[in-house]
Structure 1
Amino acid sequence: MDANGRWQILRLHVEDQVPLAVLARHYGIGLRTLERWHARYRAAGFEGLGPTTRADAGGHHLPTELITLIEGLGLTRPRPSIATIHRTVAKACAGQGWPIPSYAVVWSIISSLDPAMVTLAVEGPASYRDKYELALRRAADRPNAMWQADHTLLDILLVGTNGKPIRPWLTVIIDDCSRAICGYAVFVDAPSSLQTALALRQAIWHKPDPAWPMCGIPDVLYVDHGSDFTSDHLTHTAIDLHLRLIHSAVARPQGRGKIERFFGTVNTELLPDLPGHLTSGRPWPAPALTLADLDAAIGSFIADYNDRPHSELGTSPRAAWIADGWLPRMPDSLEDLDALLLTVAHPRTVRRDGIHFQGLRYVSPTLAGFVGRPVVIRYDPRDITEIRVFDHDDFLCKAVDQVHHGEQVSLKEVQAARNARRRDLRQGINERIAVVADHGGAPAPRPPRPRTSPASKLKVYEEDLP
């Protein structure tokens, strides 16, 4: 009974002078209980009729060592069930002569443990860090002071060029201050430095749509430790563009929360309305969209996202990026930007018959005066029939591969052809060795022994290989 109910009974005694004995018989309440209520009312007024807390509430009449034992079992990794802990405690009590606590008491002791302590002990430092450690949120004070770049695998199936279903990737460049989406790229291959460069190219250069004004070179590009973001290509590009490349701490995504939030918005607001959307626990749907269809849908979604009010800013990302008007830092030309972003640099030496690269030979009359000298070549991984040759920072010439002149050959096609040729040769070798073994000849050669020195774990992309 609450304080109000007790007062409604006591007021009959206090105001109407009804004896407590009569009230006890009428309401079925003990006389001593009514007397205690009356005494508490006289001492503290209406507040004295409220519930009281026992002095020993929350405690357990158990030995301190036994309570510590129960808590220690609750912090064991992997954590046993309460029933298992209770059985273990019962055996320990029998050996020490302690009173055996009930299952409920054991459960209450373990439930009262600090959740942060349980997380650190049972789930490990990484889970504790993500749940309980204080996180410092980066916040740029002006547009283009810092951009964030990241990739995500989208929850949707597309129709591939071969008719088979494929799952696409999305790369996004977001301005940290305004939350404006400055550029993006949709693709089907694994993330690479080239896909990052394509998204950066769109983010930096002027857009054809005047409603998408975001552009310029940022002061800082904040990325994770993916191999495309740690590639030589992106590092050299950052140096040439005079921007700082900052990597987040390994396995710590908290600093990239703004871009992760946008990815969540895409997956929850855009993709569920598109055919081919993947839903957890359901069979894969039949794909209906092409990569171009999805690219157009994401472009329209970004245009709407940049113009709608942001909950933290109180205005739209587009308005926050424009602010009071300012001039972004821009490259001299789109050609210069392409030369930095969409080409990969490698050192080479000019030979008497030209420059050799990826099994191809590039020639140009200008190279006649540079035989034996080191140069730097830049190439577009999408078309390696032509390279640009530099003497330090000075442009020398364009050199072409005479065999494939007039064709467009990508680096991926060249490598695929080499791999196919190697497989054909290996198949021929295996067939001949099998015939020798069938006729009692020399046994098949043993496979090469594995390397004893540890291999490098640093992942690089094909365009970074010499």
Structure 2
Amino acid sequence: MNLPNNDQADSDIQDEPTKTGFGIWREAVHLTTGGIYRHKNTDHEYQLLHLIDSNQATFKNLKTLRNEILSVHDFNNVRSKQGASVQVHADEISDMDWEKAQKRYMAIKPLMGDSDIRINSWSGEIEKWASECGVSTRTLMRWMNAYTSTYSIASLLDKKRGWVSGNRRLHDHIRELIDTVIQEYYLSIQRPTVEATIREVFKRCHQMGWDKPSKNAIRYQIERIPEKDHLKKRGYRERAKNKFTPKVGQFPQVDYPMAVIQIDHTPADIILVDDKHRKPIGRPFITVAIDIYSRMITGYYISLDAPSVTSVAMCLSRSILPKQELLIKHGLTDVSWDVFGIPQKIHVDNGSDFRAESLRKSCALHGIGIEFRPLARPEYGGHIERLIGNIMHKVHELPGTTFSNIKQRDGYDAEKNAALTLDEFERWFLNYVTRIYHQSIHSGIGRTPNDQWRIGIFGDGVEAGSGLPVIPADAQTLTLDFMPSFERTIQHTGVTINGIHYYDPCLNSLINISEDKQKKKFLFKQDPRDISIIWFFDPFLRQYFKIPYANQALPVMSLWEYNQLYRMVKAKHGTVSEGLIYQAWEDMQKLVDESQKNTKTLRRQEQRRKTHIKSQDVYQPVEQAALISEQDCAVSGDMTIQPVSQTQQHALDNDAPTYFEDIE
């Protein structure tokens, strides 16, 4: 590979302003009692003592030894050089233990140049300093080596107090031998006992001349065998079939929140109006996700664009990230939606948008499995279909509804009665989700989705909770991972994607780099809702950078709008250039301004453009949203709505809230 000449590159851009990128942080944070975590803002280390709810926990500040109630979303992992997470057993460590670890840390700080005192570890000063600390030089160096392996004060705790590195202590060859014995010997129809299996492991270790593992290590490996495999392979196939094969109309067993979520799309049964003239613009599309265990709605995406892989990606990333900022931006400051975390698996139908390679890769980066609905197996899709049916049942109460069939629609003019903008409809949807659906008894589980979620996380004295779901360490990395990607070479003019040129000085040092006599291709990401910038990943700096249009005169537009303009220009001129695209855009805007009041298609296009632009920005909190309909009702299907109030309020405020997407 011909790498860039750093001296030349520096001279080329030395007068350019320095551009700061951001690195990839594709790490999951699994908060567990006793774990040691680093606060994002203060960089202090804390030990998690007790989960209060889905958003807050009691933490011990390992610097001050004070207990504090903090948000669980403000912490990242503390990692060792080997990638092990830092974890200790909370019940076994007292304040005295932490004070001892703090004293050890203060003793080694001068050795690392991290205090007012500076000690040269390669001179005789270290012996003098060790004597002042009341320990030997060897002990002092051992403490420093332990600390620098993780840069966590927890590494300075006494080993006997339960320090756990996070890595499995077994050597790989011993672990493989145990797994082999389990598969070949223990999981057989002869059903040997655990003790017999331990003896078999010891025998094979002796034959290989290896040290024996502990009995507990072998028992631990056996206990990790899934019950289904345990039953089937030890001769209990019928029992396994009866317990784990789903019955007609039932989804396969799901035992904890975010084990499986289902995602699907639907056109909403309602005509919306634009937010300028309040004239009809047509039906929106909803992509929604549901957690099978709790029936909680985990995420959604509402758009005027037809369902696509982008809709799925946006819904999935919203499912994973916290929702509080989203609620605040829509004026919902008095409700909660405490659902977040990386799902183990998503369950979808066989549509092309779900089979896109980009979605598969994005899910793989975060350990999310994709499972497609088997043909002729209705029990695999019932939950999401019933949820969509329930949502549409409530939509039928709104002005401008198209209902679901001709009989219901008889005599009702949906366009004439249309009243809600896209912003207002989304605010209505959030109200319905947080105030009614999550708070109402669900017939499939016998309790509210909120209660089921809480039991799944924290337990209830009968069922053991699974703990908080795994949280992504960095929301921006997650969002970028679910954006469509491209590979392109970098030329003197920058980079070209879909016929549009992009340029920034940060590309200068990578122009025409070759690899194996071929020009090297680099990775770029693009948000289809706003193609005015792309994201460039620099493989040498391991960071992402924003790259804008090379021609700053081009307007902000979505990929959908660009493709429309491209087809128009191609048909009219036979060729396409940025100048012609810009002129077509100007002509289109003039036509929209002149015809918007009378043409529904143009109003829809303009509203779609506004929505795409708004979705890129973060706005100030808006006024409190109006309550949705609270009429006494019972929704058919899998959910029963309990009476909430005697009032009914279909009309929303005319001042629409700001549309907000929780995408950085």
Could you tell me which of 188, 197, 217 is aligned with 2:304? 188
Corresponding letter in the other structure for 1:398: K
Could you tell me which of 559, 563, 568 is aligned with 1:415? 563
Partner of 1:378: 525
Runs of at least 5 residues in structure 2 that lack an aligned partner in the other structure: 1-246, 328-334, 459-466, 513-518, 576-664
Structure 1 CA distance for aligned equivalents of residues 433 and 318 of structure 2: 13
Q: CA deviation at 1:188?
A: 2.0
SS at match of 2:305: coil
Q: How does 1:171-210 map to 2 (within 5 A)?
A: 171-208=287-324
Q: Residues 426 and 399 (structure 1 numbering): CA distance in 2 closer, same or farther, change over 3 Å?
A: closer
Instruction: Identify which range, 348-357 or 144-153, moves more after superposition.
Output: 348-357
Contact 1:174 1:259 (C-alpha < 8 Å) held by counterparts: yes
Runs of at least 5 residues in structure 1 that lack an aligned partner in the other structure: 1-132, 428-466
Could you tell me which of 399, 402, 408 is aligned with 1:278? 402
SS at match of 2:556: coil
Q: How does 1:97-246 map to 2 (within 5 A)?
A: 134=248, 137-160=251-274, 163-208=279-324, 211-246=336-371
Q: Residues 165 and 396 (structure 1 numbering): CA distance in 2 closer, same or farther, change over 3 Å?
A: closer
Identity of aligned residues (%): 29
Runs of 4+ residues deviating >4 angstroms: 133-136, 250-253
Q: Residues 228 and 333 (structure 1 numbering): CA distance in 2 closer, same or farther, change over 3 Å?
A: same
Q: How does 1:231-380 map to 2 (within 5 A)?
A: 231-250=356-375, 252-268=377-393, 270-279=394-403, 280-281=405-406, 282-283=410-411, 284-285=413-414, 286=416, 287-303=418-434, 304-323=436-455, 324-325=457-458, 326-341=467-482, 343-370=483-510, 371=512, 372-380=519-527
Structure 1 CA distance for aligned equivalents of residues 468 and 250 of structure 2: 30
TM norm structure 2: 0.42
SS at match of 2:532: strand
Structure 1 CA distance for aligned equivalents of residues 373 and 255 of structure 2: 19
Structure 2 CA distance for aligned equivalents of residues 206 and 395 of structure 1: 25
Corresponding letter in the other structure for 1:421: V
Contact 1:139 1:176 (C-alpha < 8 Å) held by counterparts: no
Q: How does 1:49-60 map to 2 (within 5 A)?
A: none
Partner of 1:458: none
Corresponding letter in the other structure for 1:356: T
Contact 1:378 1:387 (C-alpha < 8 Å) held by counterparts: yes
Contact 2:504 2:548 (C-alpha < 8 Å) held by counterparts: yes
SS at match of 2:396: helix
Corresponding letter in the other structure for 2:564: A
SS at match of 2:472: coil
Q: Residues 409 and 153 (structure 1 numbering): CA distance in 2 closer, same or farther, change over 3 Å?
A: closer
Contact 1:225 1:250 (C-alpha < 8 Å) held by counterparts: no
Corresponding letter in the other structure for 1:334: A
Structure 2 CA distance for aligned equivalents of residues 275 and 180 of structure 1: 27
The structure whose Rg is larger is 1
SS at match of 1:140: coil
Corresponding letter in the other structure for 1:191: P
Contact 1:366 1:396 (C-alpha < 8 Å) held by counterparts: no
Q: Residues 180 and 401 (structure 1 numbering): CA distance in 2 closer, same or farther, change over 3 Å?
A: same
Contact 1:363 1:402 (C-alpha < 8 Å) held by counterparts: yes
Corresponding letter in the other structure for 2:440: R
Structure 2 CA distance for aligned equivalents of residues 397 and 298 of structure 1: 35
Contact 2:320 2:342 (C-alpha < 8 Å) held by counterparts: yes
Structure 1 CA distance for aligned equivalents of residues 378 and 298 of structure 2: 21
Q: CA deviation at 1:198?
A: 2.1
SS at match of 1:151: strand
Structure 2 CA distance for aligned equivalents of residues 180 and 309 of structure 1: 12
Structure 1 CA distance for aligned equivalents of residues 267 and 544 of structure 2: 41
Partner of 1:445: none
Structure 2 CA distance for aligned equivalents of residues 380 and 189 of structure 1: 14
Structure 2 CA distance for aligned equivalents of residues 198 and 405 of structure 1: 29
Structure 1 CA distance for aligned equivalents of residues 285 and 389 of structure 2: 14
Partner of 1:93: none
Contact 1:382 1:409 (C-alpha < 8 Å) held by counterparts: yes
Q: Residues 396 and 177 (structure 1 numbering): CA distance in 2 closer, same or farther, change over 3 Å?
A: closer
Corresponding letter in the other structure for 2:357: D
Contact 1:364 1:397 (C-alpha < 8 Å) held by counterparts: no
Q: Residues 292 and 376 (structure 1 numbering): CA distance in 2 closer, same or farther, change over 3 Å?
A: same
Q: CA deviation at 1:407?
A: 4.6
Name the Cα RMSD after superposition. Answer: 2.4
Q: CA deviation at 1:289?
A: 1.4
Corresponding letter in the other structure for 2:500: L
Q: Whose helix fraction is larger, Structure 1's or Structure 2's?
A: 1
Corresponding letter in the other structure for 1:172: V
Structure 2 CA distance for aligned equivalents of residues 292 and 399 of structure 1: 30
Structure 1 CA distance for aligned equivalents of residues 536 and 266 of structure 2: 35
Partner of 2:332: none
Q: CA deviation at 1:137?
A: 2.4
Q: CA deviation at 1:344?
A: 1.4
SS at match of 2:288: strand
Contact 1:388 1:395 (C-alpha < 8 Å) held by counterparts: no
TM norm structure 1: 0.58
SS at match of 1:273: coil
